[in-house]
Amino acid sequence: MFAIGIHYLNGWAAATNPSNWDRAEWPPHPDRLFMALVSAHFETGEESIERDSLLWLESLTYPAIHASGAVERQMAVPGSSIRNFTGVRAVTKYVPVNDTPKKPERLKLLPELREKRGRTFPVVIPESPFVYFIWADAQPTEEIEAGLAQLCAKVAYLGHSTSLVQVWVEKAPPKPSLVPTKQRGDVRLRVFGEGRLGRLIHLYDSGPIRPSANLWCSYRQAVEEKETEYIASTAFDENIIILRKISGPLIGIESALTVCRFLRDTVLKLATQPIPEWLSGHGPDGSPSRHIHAAFFPLPHVGFQYSDGHLIGLGIALPKSVDPEEVRQVLSSVFYDATWYPRKIQLVMGRLGEWNLVLDNLESRPTALQPWLWTGSGTKQKTDTWATVTPITLHRHLKLTAEEKALLASEEEPRRTTIRQKMLNRKCEELIRQACRFVGIPEPVTIQLMKTSVFAGVPHIKQYPLLERRPGEQLPHTHAILKFPCPVRGPLLLGAGLHRGYGLCRPWFGMKREEGDDDPRPGRV
């Protein structure tokens, strides 16, 4: 095992997030460390042992990272602050610009007469000032280790020059908190690979030119699996794609069907052609797919004390059976531009207005944009009970058979309505059990059908438009609470509208309800 340790001597880190210059970068990206080592090498004599160490380091696999949580500095300076889309105020100072004109007026060379422009200084304050980059399978030779130790000792700052650090070679690092993954992770970081040193030298000799991001890698939380109890999981990958709304009008969750339809159309338009079946939901001949395919669903602000049900983003769940490399090839053009920065996705939705979305890869997110809220992963509570956020659309209409109608006719008039409703409820429950089997999870032990969701902010079921299977044929839908025989790992979408935003469920851990209340009021979730 081999690791490089970093100690932020000031207790804070000042480095600009490459995807948003008004935000601070945390954890530090591996490529930032590598460029700091390269800079130290060329500024202090260019010893051959150091160069050999850098070439060895760039040949390794992407490192795991041990880093604590962090908060961004929030400071409001009247007249010298900017507000970004997250509400965090990044401190801005106005400084003289460089001498850009070829023949500037001599008086304007004086500092007090120079034009001044704003420059932001994003800062993050970690819980712990120590960070470790860990290569579990690497073991350097004594010469390489000595060269790396010599380089590390020369690094004085990481990021901004005020972000002072101490760097060293660590032989016994702590366990990593972030590990690289080929699937969709929690955060994307710039990494380095073979040839990075030569690329940096070429850029410097050519201008010098400011180095751009070389490679990107997804990182996920490193979680120790301590569960001995069986956990069922749906046919969807729990690494859901989160799209954050950055501009546009407020839209309620009752419009989820329409918004998700526009998102699907936009993704299919931007994706790399030809569109595979797992994304479009149609086979090569245009016939509807009989298998699980991409599901587009809303991410609303619901389930909390002051929730109002408005959408703050959208999600995409992909089948687990799809190769992550194929996903990257098909969807890269949707979410990233040519420089691999997240691109804005514009949804033009007619009377609903226009939205701008972006792939959310920020470490600090609203709760509704946290994947664990919709998958149940990482929570300490048992996720065997789920409740609907958008109603489950049934695959067919509820009709009584001839035998059931005859049995119902034999009952006394006052009891017929109650018995008929119970018959229809049993048919509805059976359709929901079939929907659970379709997505690969066991049948619920109990199903409680409802007209309102248990989550605060979700409107009454009558406010949701019915899903049309074909023109003029609308399918019924219902809210429900589902209790399973074992914990379930999401995302969980059920019913005929599961690929279009309906049937979205969330883990539910109880509510306040009075006995005999047919329209329960949700408690705090």
Instruction: Return averaged pLDDT per consecutive 10 residues of the chain, 525 residues in all.
Output: 94 82 85 94 91 94 93 53 39 60 56 65 88 94 94 94 93 92 81 89 77 78 67 92 94 95 95 93 88 95 91 95 90 85 90 92 78 84 92 91 84 82 92 96 95 93 90 90 94 94 92 37 30
Q: What is the pLDDT of residue 281?
A: 92
Identify residue 45 by its one-letter amino acid code: G
Q: Do residues 32 and 79 share a domain?
A: yes
Cis peptide before 208 (omega within 30 of 0): yes
Please check whether residue 252 lies inside any domain of the structure: yes
Cα–Cα distance for residue pair 362/23, rounded to 1 Å:
9
Domain-embedded: residue 430: yes
Domain contains 111: no
Cis peptide preceding 140, ω within 30 of 0 = no
Domain stops at, among 155, 186, 221: 221
Is 480 inside a domain boundary? yes
Q: Quick check: is 301 in a domain? A: yes
* Same-domain status, 185 and 256: no
Q: Are 245 and 306 found together in one domain? A: yes
Q: Which residues, listed in sequence order, are joined to residue 448 by a DSSP beta bridge? A: 481
Structural domain of 343: 241-507
CA–CA dist 192, 164 (Å, integer): 22
- Asked whether residue 369 falls in the same domain as residue 308, the answer is yes
Residue 98 confidence (pLDDT):
60
Q: Are 147 and 13 in contact (CB under 8 A)?
A: no
Are 210 and 252 found together in one domain? no
**In 20-155, which ranges are continuous DSSP H helix?**
30-43, 48-58, 142-154
74 inside domain = yes
Helix (H) or strand (E) holding 7: strand 2-8
Is position 513 within any domain?
no
How far, in Å, CA of 194 to CA of 36, rounded? 17
Under DSSP, the state recorded for 500 is T
pTM of the model: 0.62
Residues 6+ positions from 296 with CB-CB distance below 8 Å: 260, 261, 263, 264, 267, 314, 315, 316, 499, 500, 501
In angstroms, the CA 67 to CA 3 distance is 13
Based on the fold, state whether residues 134 and 177 are members of the same structural domain: yes
| Backbone φ, ψ for residue 111 (5° rounding) | -55, -40
Look at residue 83 in the predicted model and tell me its pLDDT: 34
Q: Which of 158, 191, 221 is the last residue of a domain?
A: 221
**Structural domain tally of the chain?**
2
Give backbone dihedrals phi and psi of 267, rounded to 5 degrees, phi first.
-65, -45
Output the pLDDT for position 91: 56
